[in-house]
Structure 1
Amino acid sequence: MTSPRTIRTAILLLASSAALAACASKAPKQLPPDPGANVSTNTAQEPVQGNTITPGSQADFVAQMMGQDTIYFDTDRYNIDSADMTALQAQAQWLAQYPGKRATVEGHADERGTREYNLALGERRANAAKNYLVSVGIDAARLSTVSYGKERPVALGSDEASWAKNRRAVTITID
């Protein structure tokens, strides 16, 4: 015969196991993109079909820009220089070719400085790029900005080469 104490212990063990099993974390269905990854929010169509890129997709934008989807800044600066103007003019030409497309300009900073300072600097960088695109004829309603500050570096490291790669504004097409 089993004693009431043994039964209570078994019930307590079963309840504890069930509670622990309920607390176990579940893996997410889809992982978020890597920091700095250029990801289109357009899920209506696949940008690459076979070996061809769909015209007007984020993949098409990146391919046409050949690295000019990103502009870089000096330390604590957000001014647009002549190299930036060339890249932004290429972006504007692509956006003019696809008037139904919208874009987000992401502002980034290097790891130095406070989180708040770098978010503000990233915002100024994104707005500088957006304002230039508007000045060459892109409707401001098609453009949005977001600042990631130092939160999404593309280069890890505490040296000038890494910092230079992280001081940037990146244009991502949407819709």
Structure 2
Amino acid sequence: FEHILFPRDPIHLPAGQLARFLTDLRYEDIPDDVLHKAKLITLDTIGCIIAGANTPLGEKILAAYHSGNNQSGCCVPGTSCQTAPSLAAKVNAWLADVLDYEDVAVGHPSATVIPAALAMAEHLNASPQQFLAGVVAGYEAGIRVHDATLASPDVYRRFAVYHAWH
């Protein structure tokens, strides 16, 4: 029996290696400077979420997903909004991106990784160490997949010219 994430077929080897790396990643194995950077990125992203919540678009997003005084859900930082983990991850991701102040890493993973990690950590009552390991794993996955699928510089330039972004 061959596991779908770790197939023996060489074509799938990089995906299997990435999956194995991510599932084996432990807090104790992460260098201190990487943990420090993960903490800074987390604080920066929470700041972006709070700032985004206080914009006209952020207020519309919150109005659409706020379900009253539901105290059993996951929080949206800087607000009284609490909702299901999947919705909290989505709302926080949108709010993190409202002002376009997220990180400058390729693919801007902070706006997706941090909200998902916050929601799951809160939902599962994870330790700070588990949360930070999840953040580092999310960044590793996002940046490695981005790098593996990166278009040529010529394609990237044409896309940026026509779509006026990046």
Does TM, scored on the shorter chain, surpass 0.5? no
Query: Highest CA radius of gyration, 1 or 2?
Result: 1
Bigger share in helix: 2
Q: How does the TM-score come out when normalised to structure 2?
A: 0.28
Bigger share in strand: 1
